Structure 1
Amino acid sequence: MNDRPLLEPVETDRIREGVAAAVLGAPEGLAESLEHDPHGYLRLVDASRVGAEEAGRLLREAVQGARAAGHSWDAVGRVLGVSRQAAQQRFTDKTAGGASPSAPSSGGPDAPERRIIDGLSAFNEMAALEEAGRDGWHMVGYGPFFHEVEASGRPWEHCRITLPSAARHRRMESEGWVPVGAGWFPWRYYKRPVGTGG
């Protein structure tokens, strides 16, 4: 990888403008209130805090996605402008300890069986879910490099799309797709039993 930035300046400007527009535009009447209401500035601070937290979450998930796609900590560090060690220390999932997760207890004796499919990447996860779905397993959770699936008595299909618009999300649900979790940037995952499609 060369030292040339991966984004063009116009792309960087577009991202910055989009984030600023989201922070100012999401809270109802925030931009207008800044002309006459001192309290509006506290709302601006709160909206900016939410934007910064979300940007931090997206960055963590993007780094995990890059790692899942096979990129080294050295490559990630170069993009971030930090050392390999600094990138690894900041973005290694402390809860998982970098290891594959273990299957959680299934609840009670009548609870469906659950298992973890690990060793996944952005390039092989959908094939793994397709195979699991054919065998009657459906996704119930996920994280870096793994999916958690639950047994059922019928086959399932799974899909992954980049963050959908509200209209596309509603269309997916009208076609019988059920969202799984809140998404893993930049993806949103859906599932449905085979044969229920629209």
Structure 2
Amino acid sequence: MSDEPLLGPLEAARIREGIAAAVIGVPEGLADSLEHDAAGYLRLVDASRVGAEEASRLLREAVQGARAAGHSWETVGRILGVSRQAAQQRFAAPAAPGAPTGGGPGSPERRILSPLTAFNEMAALDEAGRDGWHLVGYGSFFHEVEVSGHPWEHCRVTLSSGGRHRRMEAAGWIPVGEGWFPWRYYKRPLGPVKES
């Protein structure tokens, strides 16, 4: 892999423009208020803070996704313009939980599927779903599933899929969490679990 940027200048400019447009365009009336209201600039600071926090979260999740796809800390650091050690210190996720969790007596049993990558997680969820386990949480290299009395199907779609998310929910798909950039995960119950 060369030291050349992976995005071209036009792509980078479009991303910057999109972020700026969201920061200034999403808060109701913010752009217009900047012409006549000093308080509008404080709203702009707050909107920029939210944008920066979200960009930071997306970067953390993108780095974890690259690691889950098999890329080394050296490669990630090179793309970020920092050393391997600096990338690892800043972005290394805590280890996946090792033991099944639960909510106390009487709560459904939970377990951790790990280690997972972007390339094998859906197969692991398919297998778990057939056995009556459904997704309840996730993180870098793991999914947490909970047992139920029927099989489940799982899917993931990119966060940029706009209207597709509403159509999926209308078709009975249940979103799980807020998403793990660049994915949003869904689950849907099927019929009763078949006895083996």
Measured against the shorter chain, the TM-score band is: over 0.9
Kept in 1: contact 2:109–2:146 (CA 8 A) = yes
**Alignment deviations for residues 50-100 of structure 1 (CA, whole Å, 9 cap, x no partner):** 00000000000000000000000000000000000000000012xx2xx33
CA deviation profile, 1:110-143 (whole Å, cap 9, x unmatched): 2111000011000000000000000110000000
Determine helix, strand or coil for the equivalent of 2:153: strand
Match of 1:2 in 2: 2
1:66 aligned to 2:62?
no
Aligned equivalent of 1:148, options 141, 144, 151: 144
- How many residues of Structure 1 are paired with residues of Structure 2 in the alignment? 191
Q: Percent identity?
A: 77
Partner of 1:43: 43
Match of 1:16?
A: 16
Give the counterpart letter for 1:172 in structure 2.
Answer: M
- Gap change, CA 1:180 and 1:23, over 3 Å in 2: same
Select the residue among 83, 98, 101 that pairs with 1:102.
98
Q: TM-score, structure 1 length as denominator?
A: 0.93
8 Å CA contact 1:138, 1:149 repeated in 2 = yes
Task: Give yes or no for the alignment of 1:131 onto 2:127.
Answer: yes
CA distance in 1, matches of 2:27, 2:7: 29
Output the CA distance in 1 between the equivalents of 2:55 and 2:37.
Answer: 27
State whether residues 96 and 139 of structure 2, in contact with CA within 8 Å, keep that contact through their aligned partners in structure 1: no
TM-score, normalised relative to structure 2: 0.94
**Among 180, 183, 191, which residue is 1:184 paired with?**
180
1:166 Cα deviation after fit:
4.8
Gaps of 5+ in 2: 192-196
Contact 2:27/2:47 (CA < 8 Å) preserved in 1?
yes
Q: Tell me how large the CA RMSD over aligned residues is.
A: 1.1
Between the aligned partners of 2:99 and 2:183, the Cα distance in structure 1 is 23
For 2:90 and 2:73, the matched residues in 1 are separated by: 11
Compute the displacement of 1:178 (Å): 0.2
Q: Which amino acid aligns with 2:123?
A: A
What is the aligned partner in structure 1 of residue 108 from structure 2? 112
Contact 1:103 1:114 in 2 (8 A): no
Does the 8 A contact of 2:101 with 2:111 survive in 1?
no
**Which residue type is aligned with residue 54 of structure 2?**
E
- Which sections of structure 1, spanning at least 5 residues, go unmatched? none
Matching residue's letter, 1:60: R
Give the alignment partner of residue 158 of structure 1, picking from 154, 158, 176: 154
